[in-house]
Amino acid sequence: MRSAMSRPNVVLIMADDMGFECLSCYGSTTYETPVLDDLAARGIRFSHCYSTPLCTPSRVEIMTGQYNFRNYDRFAYLNPKEKTFGNLLKDAGYATC
């Protein structure tokens, strides 16, 4: 395993009701988002993605990398045996919260 100093930091921000049109780095003139713009300039920006129209299923998809029909037992219930993004990062030696 690489040392902690050589591994990149990973920051995943999940915001509710925020679209690409809300960020200056994607051309917004309505909102000023200098800190997020700086993170975007130094990190990864997505230009094409899909989302479900509800908050919880979207977050579960991001956490598991799977469509909801593959990872949801019931609405608002994620199987505790399911490996998530956070589990994988922790297994790789990252501190997660």
* Predicted confidence (pLDDT) per residue in 63-90, tens digit: 888 877 766 666 657 778 888 999 999 9
Model confidence at 14, in pLDDT bands (50, 70, 90)?
confident
Query: Residue 63, Cβ neighbours under 10 Å: how many?
Result: 19
The answer on 45 and 10 residing in a single domain is: yes
Q: Domain range spanning residue 40?
A: 1-49
**pTM reported for the whole predicted model:** 0.63
Give the chain's domain count.
Answer: 2
Q: What is the H or E stretch that residue 10 is in?
A: none
Buried b (16+ CB within 10 A) or exposed e, 25-44: ebeeeeeebeebeeebeeee
Whether residue 45 is found in the same domain as residue 2: yes
Same domain, 87 and 55: yes
Residue labelled with tokens 């920051």: 11
Report CA dihedral (91, 8, 20, 16) to the nearest 10 degrees: 40
